[in-house]
Amino acid sequence: MEPKTAHSLAFTNGYSNVNGLKMYYEIYGDGKPLVLLHGGGSTIQTTFEKVIPLLAKNRKIIAVEAKAHGRTGDRDAAVTFEQDADDVAALLKNLNIQRADFFGFSNGGTTTLQIALRHPNLSDKIILGSALAKRSGVPNWFWDFMSKASLENMPEQLQEAYRKVAQDPNALVVMHNKDAKRMVNFEDIPEEQIKAIKSPTLIINGDKDVVTVEHALELHRQIAGSDLAIIPGGHGEYIGEITTLTPDFKETDLIVPLIEKFLDKKSEDQT
């Protein structure tokens, strides 16, 4: 790892050999680890660039890029949420992180669910931002769109971000097609598994999100003791995700105070 500076914020970055994959990560700040997991087709920066400087003031932020995304390598295999969860767990083991909090957005939120299910001893608190756990959690048009997905329909901001950092910019279409296929083949996470999650959980959803408010409420009811926040705006607007940014964007629009309040709150088993 070597020190870097971006937006006046110092960080270290590097690659770790994870299950036969070179996984890219960035580390900011000091304190208890908070792992950030980006959305589909995205990079660390496209999902989290606006919130990292704020979250890193009091915590160690470990931001990860998943298989085939951004600077992380690929395998000759499909992408799955289960494998992404196992890759993150292996990375943290390599970094000597015993336990951490997790904040996953969109696809990263579904991966965070899988981390809580597959690696319960690794996850303390989890934050599920616009996370999908069952097919009925999005409108029918979403599945029609995914079945016909093409690179031309991928937001230009995400395409540019990938090409900017990827070792092989021409692999963009491979990443896109793998992500689209993962969603086409998405299967519900069984309700009994969701109900078995023990990690203190914060569920966040936009009121105009792709993931429905009803689905977020259903997750809230299934995960005992979870907190639910419905925020005005669209998919990722509450964290300044790159495709939601407008000229009048303000840092005060971000929900970082809400996230910090949840992370700082003592769990019942800590009191």
**Res 2 pLDDT > 60:** no
pLDDT tens digits, 94-120: 999 999 999 999 999 999 999 999 999
3-state helix, strand, coil in the chain (%, to 5): 40, 20, 40
Q: Quick one: what percent of the chain has pLDDT higher than 90?
A: 93
pLDDT of residue 267: 59
pLDDT of residue 70: 96
Pick among 3.40.50.12780, 3.40.50.1820, 3.40.50.300, 1.10.340.30: CATH of 2-266? 3.40.50.1820
Strand, helix or coil for residue 260: helix
| pLDDT, mean of residues 3-13 | 69
pLDDT tens digits, 41-67: 999 999 999 999 999 999 999 999 999
Residue 258 banded pLDDT, cuts 50, 70, 90: very high
Residues 6+ apart with CB under 8 A from 177: 149
Distances (CA, A) of 114 to 63, 84, 197: 17, 9, 10
| pLDDT, mean of residues 137-166 | 95
pLDDT tens digits, 210-251: 999 999 999 999 999 999 999 999 999 999 999 999 999 999
pLDDT of residue 169: 85
**Res 6 pLDDT > 50:** no
Contacts of range 166-170, beta carbons closer than 8 Å, 24 or more positions apart: 166/70, 166/71, 167/71, 167/73
Of 223, 225, 216, residue with least CA distance to 192: 223
pLDDT of residue 8: 62
pLDDT of residue 112: 98
